[in-house]
Structure 1
Amino acid sequence: MNKRRKIFILYARFGEGHWQAASALRHSFERVGGADTVLIDLLAEAHPFLNGVSRFVYAKSYNVMPHLYGWVYETTKGMNADSPFANWLHSFGSVALRKLIERESPDAIVHTFPMLVLPSVSRKIGLSIPMFNVITDFDLHRRWVHPAVDKYYVATDDISRQLRSLGVRPERIAATGIPIRPTFRPDGARTGVAAKYGLDERRPIVMVMAPPNVPSAETAKLCLLLRDRCGAQVAVVCGRDKALRDSLAAGLAPRTGVAVLGFVERIDELMAVSRCLVTKPGGLTLSEAIAARLPLLLYRPVPGQELGNAKYLSGKGAAVICRDPHDVMHAARRLLEDASEPLAMRGALEALRKPDSSDRIALDIARQLHIMEEASSKAASFPRTTLLPTSR
């Protein structure tokens, strides 16, 4: 009987996306990939104080200094893996990762966040561990790129081409899409879903993922414009942000046609009955909307990877970038009143769909590890050649 492999999945809690991708992969590895997984927030494990400060600064960057964050992102976007800044970035967590490797002996390490400390750790301990990068945005930053990466799993064919232009061999890239939960099934039965959230299935529904970078009063105004000017019902999802939910509920909950929701486990059901989605352009939410073929209105993307995601999807015709509540209202009205516009956007979304992304990544990594193990076994068993002295 073959021993089950152990795989480390490294993520970070800067937003929910990296963790959600890691969780989706854990589900797939344990279900179809023949591996047990350990999810590790490496920065939190290695530098808890720095992690807390970094998360605080990241959260505040939405409101206080978005252009500074965007400037840093764009300035470092083209950095080389051997640059001093890249080496500094990839040095955090080396002691913690080394201890984890020596204690648990993983068969591979998968990144859903680019803390690429493994190559330096491998050199120090003299142990080669396969390394896989799952890029969780539609915009490529060179922080993800390193010569020690065995294979990249990317959102689109365009990122695949970008990596090839950087010298990465085609067999080391797979355009699988960003991993979303294998249980995400937006094509299921829709009967009764609207009523489950206090809405009327006979009237159009617009789904709003309440942006964390937007004051609750502005989000409330946006919801009322959608209801009053577009004739839509609004399902506004606040996730795990209880303070935001309470603030919106205080002003919106008594109003008919607006449902204020917290964390929604079956977000696929809600997407299935919605006509469009208003959201910030995070990679995981965008991937779920693409899977659901749900037209996207991307609200006030902040400079950095979110703006890169927004520009990419807008350029493909799969999304509209909106800067204020009235932009959203006008874009939603077009989608609700003009049948040709949502049809075109759904066609663009369909062209971007990569079904079963999480399972495909887990299965491919399992196959890659099997190939590596076979090659290593053959190399170890290959007979040494003894040179015999020649007769004079």
Structure 2
Amino acid sequence: MKVRIYSASFGSGHHQANEALGDALQARDPRVRARHTDYLTHLSGFERGVILGFYLGWLRYAPGIYRWYYRFTDRPSEPQLIKDGYRWLGRGSMQRELLQDVPDLAVSSYPTPAAVTGWVRDQYRLKYLNVLVVTDYRIHEHWVRQEADLVLVPTEEARGQMIARGIPEGRVRVTGIPINARYAALIGTATDPGARAALRQRHGLDPHLPLLLVSGGGQGTYRSLNVLLGELGMLGRPVQVLVLAGAKRPGRTQLGGATIHWLGFTTDFPELLAASDLVVGKAGGLTVAEATTLGVPMVIYDPIPGQEEHNAEYLERGGAAVWARTRTTLRPALLRALDPDERARMSAGAFALSVPDAADRAARVILEATAQRAQATAGTQATADTQATRPTDPAPSRDTD
């Protein structure tokens, strides 16, 4: 079973969700041969430069403009040029790839490749199932792609939003956001103080000091990193802080009462998250899914406008996070979340929102839909074959004069 899986490297979240889903598909069906592709590699140099340049530039220097764009396009009446653009960005390269090696299944964790794969499938009358995996906790208009045969969403609330925006009810399934199986295996460690202390010692961390993990995004564009670290250094109590994105080189520095460990890229993120008391910073969809699985509360500060603000609201409503909306409220929010009783309450809220087996749920739903589509296609073909080979009735005889 040939599976083509498309991510988009605007951040690391889409890729991580797809890796988890690909593993789950292969675990459920050994016939699966998954090929992962970054959709951005199909864009021309000009397209990639413009899209990434505007996106990253807005986030770093002009978040207000990005918030305006997010809201402007979050409506059915958005300009048709923008809607149609999702069908042609990178189309030429993706079309060649799909026609050269036609898959049985196409999965996308970003709206644009789902639009393109759907267009190619319909244009050339191909048979593959086109699946869209939503990695945010609220449905923006750009996620509403009629080209998708199956749309997987994180919550019942998101399912209702997707249906309200026009996707047929039967196409929308709730599975959660796919995450690596390592997180589910670490749940016991994350809830056992002794195991968490041992995990910290294994990674060279103090087992007794509070451990805070900074969520800064895979692109290292978190513009409030220095502000956040400054507040952590002035908490009035010693803490240790893990910084992955934005770390220029590994090392350790001291900033007031905060011992900052600059880690850069690491494959140990699941264990480090399980060992942490809090996640602080942004609220990306994958980070939210991973933190809730391990019951780690979040203190959110300066999330990406639009999607991450809605993720923050979702966590706050569920009692799993505190959203510090201003710098003056950041320090009180951090101290509040570090209080043992408050942390325990927030941790329980996080667990209540978690879907540890989301990848397996998504794989099961996708494989069931793929099998149903194959059966329907086979049935249609059999009917066509029968009609083509059925002997024609002789022409009725006529009396002759």
Query: What does residue 57 of structure 1 align with?
Result: 54
Q: Any idea what the Cα deviations from partners look like across 1:46-83, whole Å, max 9, x if unmatched?
A: 32332133223222212211111111111111236993
2:218 equivalent to 1:218? no
Displacement of 1:176? 1.0
Q: 1:194 to 1:140 in 2, by over 3 A?
A: same
TM-score, structure 1 as length reference? 0.87
Moved more, 366-375 or 24-33: 24-33
- 2:226 and 2:238 map into 1 onto residues whose CA distance is 19
2:202 equivalent to 1:196? yes
Displacement of 1:253? 8.1
Q: Any idea what the Cα deviations from partners look like across 1:346-374, whole Å, max 9, x if unmatched?
A: 33222211121112212221121111111
Displacement of 1:90? 2.1
2:36 equivalent to 1:39? yes
Displacement of 1:180? 0.9
Query: What does residue 276 of structure 1 align with?
Result: 278
Query: What does residue 264 of structure 1 align with?
Result: 266
Q: Is the 8 Å Cα contact of residues 253 and 261 (structure 2) preserved in structure 1?
A: no
Q: 1:258 to 1:65 in 2, by over 3 A?
A: closer
Query: What does residue 123 of structure 1 align with?
Result: 122
Other structure's SS at 1:183 match: helix
Other structure's SS at 2:280 match: strand
2:213 equivalent to 1:207? yes
Consecutive unaligned residues of structure 2, counting only runs of 5 or more, are: 190-194
Displacement of 1:210? 4.2
Displacement of 1:317? 2.4
What is the number of equivalent residue pairs in this alignment? Answer: 380
- 1:337 and 1:291 map into 2 onto residues whose CA distance is 21
Aligned structure 1 segments of 4 or more residues deviating by more than 6 angstroms: 253-256, 389-392
- 1:57 and 1:117 map into 2 onto residues whose CA distance is 22
Query: What does residue 244 of structure 2 align with?
Result: 238
Counterpart code for 1:342: R
Q: Is the 8 Å Cα contact of residues 188 and 269 (structure 1) preserved in structure 2?
A: no
Q: Any idea what the Cα deviations from partners look like across 1:113-132, whole Å, max 9, x if unmatched?
A: 11111232233323243110
- 2:88 and 2:279 map into 1 onto residues whose CA distance is 39
Counterpart code for 1:6: K
Other structure's SS at 2:212 match: strand
Q: Residue 76 of structure 2 is aligned with which of 76, 79, 89? A: 79
Q: Is the 8 Å Cα contact of residues 319 and 345 (structure 1) preserved in structure 2?
A: yes
Displacement of 1:216? 5.0
Counterpart code for 2:75: G
Q: Any idea what the Cα deviations from partners look like across 1:224-270, whole Å, max 9, x if unmatched?
A: 124xx2x352232223x442x56xx5743897744332223232222
The 5 Å alignment of 1:161-200 reads 161-184=160-183, 185-189=185-189, 190=195, 191-200=197-206
Query: What does residue 303 of structure 1 align with?
Result: 305
Moved more, 75-84 or 137-146: 75-84
Q: 1:343 to 1:378 in 2, by over 3 A?
A: same
- 2:59 and 2:280 map into 1 onto residues whose CA distance is 17
Counterpart code for 1:186: L
Displacement of 1:300? 0.7
Report the RMSD for the aligned CA atoms in angstroms: 2.7
Counterpart code for 1:58: Y
Counterpart code for 2:120: V
Q: Is the 8 Å Cα contact of residues 13 and 55 (structure 1) preserved in structure 2?
A: no
Other structure's SS at 1:320 match: strand
Displacement of 1:292? 0.9
Q: Is the 8 Å Cα contact of residues 253 and 259 (structure 2) preserved in structure 1?
A: no
Q: 1:386 to 1:172 in 2, by over 3 A?
A: farther
Query: What does residue 6 of structure 1 align with?
Result: 2
Displacement of 1:133? 0.5
2:110 equivalent to 1:101? no
- 1:197 and 1:180 map into 2 onto residues whose CA distance is 22
Q: Residue 24 of structure 1 is aligned with which of 4, 17, 20? A: 20
Q: Is the 8 Å Cα contact of residues 230 and 255 (structure 2) preserved in structure 1?
A: no
Other structure's SS at 1:90 match: helix
Q: Is the 8 Å Cα contact of residues 33 and 363 (structure 1) preserved in structure 2?
A: no
Q: Is the 8 Å Cα contact of residues 150 and 171 (structure 2) preserved in structure 1?
A: yes
Q: Is the 8 Å Cα contact of residues 253 and 259 (structure 1) preserved in structure 2?
A: no
2:133 equivalent to 1:134? yes
Other structure's SS at 1:195 match: helix
Q: Is the 8 Å Cα contact of residues 136 and 284 (structure 1) preserved in structure 2?
A: yes
Structure (1 or 2) with the larger CA radius of gyration: 2
- 1:301 and 1:73 map into 2 onto residues whose CA distance is 14
Consecutive unaligned residues of structure 1, counting only runs of 5 or more, are: none
